[in-house]
Every structure is written in C-alpha cells, then in structure tokens.
Structure 1
C-alpha cells in the first residue's frame, strides 16, 4: 500500500510540474504525452488535486492550471512563512486594538489570496475564505497590492478584467485606476460592500527591503459596525503595524 501511495504522489508531483511549465494551463489530453502517463491516470489524479484546491479547471476550456493551495504552499517555501511569522504578532495586537478581523494577503499572478488571518473575537465577524483566489483588482487589499505595480503592469492586469458574479460590486477598469491613484496618494485603501456584501475593509501595504509592496495588511468587519468613521480611527494603527512589519522585512523605518 505504501509503495502505491508513493507512486501516486510521485505522479501528482510530475503533473503539477508539467502544469507549472505549461503557462496557460493544459488539459488531461495534453498532459498525458508530456508526463508519459495514460490519459485516464492523468484525469484521475487531476480530479483528486482539484478536490483539494491544488489545481483548478476552467469550465469553459476544460484546461487545468495550478490552484490556490499549491500557490500558497509555494509562497510558504519561497518566503511566505517568513512574512507570516514576522506579521503575526502585530496582527494579533491590531486585532485587539481594532476589535475586528486582521488579514494578510499577497498577489498571485492576476489574483490575490489571504495568506494569514486573525479573526475578531466578536460574535458577528468577517472571516475570509483562506486559499480562495480573488481578482487582484477587487477590494481594498487588491488596490493596495496593485498600487505597487507600474502603470504598464496595471494595464496588463486590467486587460483580463471581467465581471465576476461572485463579487458584490464589480468596478470598471477606469474606476479601479482612479482608486489605485487614491491609494498612491494616501497610502491606504478603503472598501465597503464591494468584494463581499455588508463587509468593510481598510488596507495598507507591507514592503520588503527593496521597497516593493509584498503584501496587504487589512482590517475588516461588518459594514454596519465597521463604518467609515471607525475605519478612519483604525488607519493610524494599521499604518504603524504595516510599517513595523516592513521594518522586520528589511524596509527602511517609517516606510508606509
């Protein structure tokens, strides 16, 4: 039994490696000759990987690509653990100060994903779907992450902009560009009833030693409680926490 499991794991790794190299994804039929496995074997393993979020399938093209769970694991190997470990103490402090949920999200291609979350102790609170891929252009977190991109990079992200029926409010590319400009001017972003109905968020960028925005630190809560006035009150503490985390990652002190 152990040998069979090891063989299945080996095949799954080879399929994930082939998908990573494919760029735009691939179907089971395309992966079969690449990996040397029977198409039925590839399809069976892809179904298992899909159930765990390691791969995702485009329902229109039937092509598979690397999923959020594999990306999060990769982020952990490539420094995500360092980021989370440095951020976590400040996230707990910020949660206790704001009384709302604190999240840490990163960009993954043209999407974003929550890497860590410290939930509010309130009975009614916001809780993200850890591992879910949100469009990079959506919400306060997304705009903070995009504010660190060049205008050309922003154009490339928005070139894939599509209405997402899972979002409460879908902004136009021009509206997104305008809000990114506001982030660059004020160093933080706010959103209410946007990505998720009845949820408000405020986010600030976390930078590394090169000055690049590597994550978005956010505070989120129910919109009827976490009002614009409450978000304004939280901004200074959020900025201080992001600055402290950035300093731990090598950024110059005071960077926001």
Structure 2
C-alpha cells in the first residue's frame, strides 16, 4: 500500500507543472510506471477529485482537491474555510458571482465560487486551469511574483486560446502596474466575452499574495460604476480573510 501511495504522489508531482495536462500514456512515459499502473492510479485520483479529466481530449490535470491540500493550513484553518463566509456576504451585497483563485505555476485556478442568484450570471469551472497573465484575478496574483517569473508568464502566454479578448504584453504590464498602485485590478470584456471582473489580493503572514478574491458579472449589469461601488466591500472582505491568515490586505485607492 505504501508503495502505491508513493507512486500516486509521483504521478501527481509529475502532472502538477503540466499546464496542458497529460494523457495516461504520456504520464506513464514521464513517470516510468507501467501504463496499467498509471491508469489505475489516475482512475483513483479522479474519483477523489485529486485530478480531473477532460473528456474531449482525455487529458488529465491537477484537480481542486489536490490544490487545496497543497495550500495547506494556517493555524489549522484553510483558505477556503476562511474565505467562504466573506464570499457569501459579498455575493449578497453585490448580487454578482464571487470567486477565490490561486496561482498554479504560470496558470491560475478557481478553488471556490459563490454564484450570483441572478438568471444571467458568470460561472467558472472549479479546478480548471486559466491563464495567469489575463484577467483581473491574474493581474492580482501576478502582482506578488518576482520580475523574472512575470517575464516568463508574459512571454509564455499559456492557454492564450482560452482568452476571448487578450491584451498585448505591453498593455498587460501597464494594467499590472495600475493594479499594484491601486491595490485592485479590473478587467472589462477580457478573459471571457461580456464579463467584467474586479479582484483584490488576500495576503499571508509574509505579506505575499496567497490568493485573489474577485467579483464578476455580465458587462451590461456589472458596469464600471457598480464595480467602483464594490471596491470597498471587496477590500473589507480581503482584509478579514488576510487577517485570519496572519496577513494584512492593503487599502484600495480608487483610480
């Protein structure tokens, strides 16, 4: 049993940095494990949410449960546990969908989401990898990265095909700087067509960006004016979650 656990960890470790995922055959080759063993491990990991499979391409990717475990605990409390009450309050206050996302190498993933109760609403796919270089969430998460990693993210532009209206590298750098100065990021009809988003950082005890908390909604309803009105409620929510993780969220300065 212990040997099987070691093999499963080996499969997860091999799969984690692969933004585009991998097939069972590719993972068997990369890990050096027999194809039958690799497939059996993947089947078990999929059933527990540790990995997810794209049924169109048959490729496997790291799942949301593995990401949650990887985030670990802070004073015995998980990020999602602390964030969810604030997310529900934000959804109720704004009427829009609230998401919690983290960086995974040069991509990002939603760990949790509280959807709008409106008939027309934005919904992400939990556990799916999204581009780190695009969108309000991405800019907030990138704001905590060292310069060399930011350069690698922008030059690689992973998953560009998944962005409806991508900004240029220069535009992205400009928006990233604005996000750093303001303490929040906005995106208009960018990562997903006809969806606007507002995001702010959640910080840990080191002052690093642990996650991005965001509010997203249809562009026709979540207008720039309503986004500005949501800045303070979002800032307050991030401050609460950050403080419970031992960090302090900076105050947002309207731009």
- Residues 1:240 and 2:233 aligned together: no
- Residues 1:74 and 2:69 aligned together: yes
In structure 2, do the counterparts of structure 1 residues 144 and 173 end up closer, same or farther at CA, with 3 Å as the change threshold?
A: same
- What is the deviation of 1:96? 1.2
Give the 5 Å matches for 1:142-153.
142-153=138-149
- Residues 1:126 and 2:122 aligned together: yes
- Segments of structure 1 that go 5 or more residues without pairing to the other structure are 1-6
| 1:1-36 C-alpha deviation (Å, 9 max, x unpaired) | xxxxxx7x974861442451587668245256x34x
Do 2:204 and 2:247's aligned partners in 1 also have CA atoms closer than 8 Å?
yes
13-22 or 98-107, which moves further after superposition? 13-22
| 1:14-69 C-alpha deviation (Å, 9 max, x unpaired) | 1442451587668245256x34xx33443565477579671669x99x9x775234
Task: Classify the secondary structure of the residue corresponding to 2:164.
Answer: coil
In 1, distance between residues paired with 2:139 and 2:250?
21
In 2, distance between residues paired with 1:69 and 1:89?
19
In structure 2, do the counterparts of structure 1 residues 254 and 200 end up closer, same or farther at CA, with 3 Å as the change threshold?
A: closer
Task: State the match for 1:30 in structure 2.
Answer: 29
In 1, distance between residues paired with 2:127 and 2:159?
21
| 1:64-114 C-alpha deviation (Å, 9 max, x unpaired) | 775234542433545596111111111111111111111111111111111
Do 1:163 and 1:170's aligned partners in 2 also have CA atoms closer than 8 Å?
no
- Residues 1:165 and 2:164 aligned together: no
- Residues 1:141 and 2:134 aligned together: no
Q: Please tell me whether Structure 1 or Structure 2 has the larger radius of gyration of its CA atoms.
A: 1
- Normalising by structure 2, report the TM-score: 0.81
- Residues 1:92 and 2:88 aligned together: yes
In 2, distance between residues paired with 1:149 and 1:24?
17
Alignment root-mean-square deviation, CA:
3.2
- Normalising by structure 1, report the TM-score: 0.80
- What is the deviation of 1:145? 0.5
Do 1:199 and 1:221's aligned partners in 2 also have CA atoms closer than 8 Å?
yes
Give the 5 Å matches for 1:185-200.
185-200=181-196
Task: State the match for 1:54 in structure 2.
Answer: 51
Higher fraction of helix = 1
In 2, distance between residues paired with 1:55 and 1:134?
14
Task: State the match for 1:17 in structure 2.
Answer: 10
| 1:188-209 C-alpha deviation (Å, 9 max, x unpaired) | 1111211111111100111111
In structure 2, do the counterparts of structure 1 residues 54 and 225 end up closer, same or farther at CA, with 3 Å as the change threshold?
A: same
Task: Classify the secondary structure of the residue corresponding to 1:190.
Answer: strand
- What is the deviation of 1:249? 1.2
Report the count of equivalent residues. Answer: 243
In 1, distance between residues paired with 2:39 and 2:101?
32
